Amino acid sequence: MATILANNDNVDITMPELKFDITRVRHDFPTLNQSINACPLVYLDSGATTQKPQCVIDTTAKFYTDENANVHRGRHTLSENATIQYENVRAQTATYFGVNSNEIVWTKGATEAINLVANGLRKQVTANDTIIITPIEHHANLVPWQVLAQQTGAKLAAMPLNKDGTFDTELCLKFIKKQKPAIVAISHASNALGNITDLPAIIECAKSLGAIVVVDGAQSAMHLKPNLKILDCDFYVFSAHKMIGPTGVGGLYGRYELLNALTPYQTGGEMIQTVTLYESVYRDAPAKFESGTPNIAGITAFGAALSYLSQFRHAEIFEHEQAVFNYAHSRLAKIDGIYLYSSIKNNIGTLCFNYKDEHPFDLATLLDGYGVAVRAGHHCTQPLMAHLGINGSVRASFAFYNNYSDVDKFIDALQACIAILD
């Protein structure tokens, strides 16, 4: 059982003054400015999907209104413009992550990107290989590796995890050295807890032993804006909709030689060099992984999301998120009967908690009555919940558009819910 942080008077509640123009930012996100159940919306479910700024919404509408055409096909003006825009966003994404354009593959989300890698590695994996997974993974970064292991006979080995859901880096490194894995699949940040993984040490160790490191960046891509060349992972997956972009768009970064060596798991048009009736020659990455018409409007709108983010220094966003998160964490910890599972240090801004033995579903249902949007359940991390000895939890996940007032409303609502339940 995780530590209970009940009535912890030693926790200091601090509210540093924020430099970030949060009023303007909140104005840019129309969804935030509404009432739910006659209360102002307090959106604390950004871990599931972030809200979208007006520019992303406008770009989507503008694409379908004025610019719609297929990419890489027509020799007409609209198609050429759509292709330019589509490739520009690829370049923009590459810049965001500090990598090369040809190392970014568009997918419909992080889940598809992981499936692309796991399927693409099938020919390279044998029954003698070990794939390291971890207990904190989202099911999306577990099931594809289970399937790969079943198909190839490779062994799965789960990284050791402390009782409280954090990794002991030393133990992890020892484990990696012992297992000598072919692949390490690991999250940059836990979607349920928000805890940030000490990736640099793990990646360095795994790669020194020749392993391919696949990082699930769904939760970290926006909050941490990692430079992937510095992080030095081999593959990294992300979802646009968790980065203030549209749903149905995501991507895969792959170190070029490794990316190009993957076998395509979907085939069809656009990914081929030449086709005869009986055989085809594939194009090089990224084209060979992008068969069929992609989500052009979505990718164009994702470009608007990245432009929106680029108006801030990342440190500015991070500092704001951390200040609001720390305030929320310390206020939550002071409520008697709260079990907090998220670590306060090295956290992207997620609070995973329960109240006494109340069911998270009841708590989340009542919080919704006060306009507070949180998630309840196992967060697609059943092995992690089992590890923590719980069936599920409430998850409040923050983003840079949240403010101190959101925290106050959330805590007030939570106390009112507790009064109903007690």
The residues that touch another protein, with contacts defined as CB under 8 A, are: 37, 358-359, 361-362, 365-366, 369, 376-377, 391-392, 416, 420-421
Alpha helices in 209-290 (DSSP H): 220-223, 228-231, 256-261
CB nearer another protein, residue 166 or residue 381: 381
Shortest CB 328 distance to another protein, Å: 23
Shortest CB 218 distance to another protein, Å: 20
Shortest CB 374 distance to another protein, Å: 12
Shortest CB 368 distance to another protein, Å: 9
As a whole number of angstroms, the distance between CA 310 and CA 314 comes to 8
CB nearer another protein, residue 164 or residue 362: 362
Alpha helices in 351-422 (DSSP H): 360-369, 382-388, 404-421
As a whole number of angstroms, the distance between CA 230 and CA 346 comes to 19
Task: Indicate the residue type of 87.
Answer: E
Asked if 380 is an active-site residue, the reply is yes
* Token pair of 130 as six digits: 């070990």
Residue 260 CA: distances (Å) to CA of 103, 144, 284, 298: 9, 20, 6, 25
Q: Return the closest-CA partner of residue 138 out of 80, 190, 206.
A: 190
Element (DSSP H or E) covering residue 89: helix 77-97
As a whole number of angstroms, the distance between CA 230 and CA 221 comes to 14
Shortest CB 359 distance to another protein, Å: 4
CB nearer another protein, residue 243 or residue 366: 366
As a whole number of angstroms, the distance between CA 15 and CA 88 comes to 40
201 and 177 Cβ atoms separated by less than 8 Å: no
Shortest CB 236 distance to another protein, Å: 30
Annotated catalytic residue within 205, 352, 380, 417 = 380
CB nearer another protein, residue 33 or residue 365: 365
Shortest CB 375 distance to another protein, Å: 9
Shortest CB 387 distance to another protein, Å: 19
CB nearer another protein, residue 128 or residue 391: 391
196 and 185 Cβ atoms separated by less than 8 Å: no
Residue 165 CA: distances (Å) to CA of 85, 178, 192, 338, 385: 42, 22, 10, 17, 9
384 and 192 Cβ atoms separated by less than 8 Å: yes
Q: Provide CB contacts within 8 A for 106, sequence distance 6+.
A: 90, 249, 250, 251, 286, 290, 294, 295, 299
CB nearer another protein, residue 67 or residue 358: 358
As a whole number of angstroms, the distance between CA 186 and CA 99 comes to 20
Residue 310 CA: distances (Å) to CA of 84, 297, 303, 399: 20, 20, 10, 16
Using DSSP's 3-state secondary structure scheme, residue 409 falls into: helix
- State the virtual CA torsion across 195, 228, 48, 298 in degrees, nearest 10: 170
273 and 264 Cβ atoms separated by less than 8 Å: no
CB nearer another protein, residue 18 or residue 39: 39
CB nearer another protein, residue 198 or residue 362: 362
Active site residues: 380
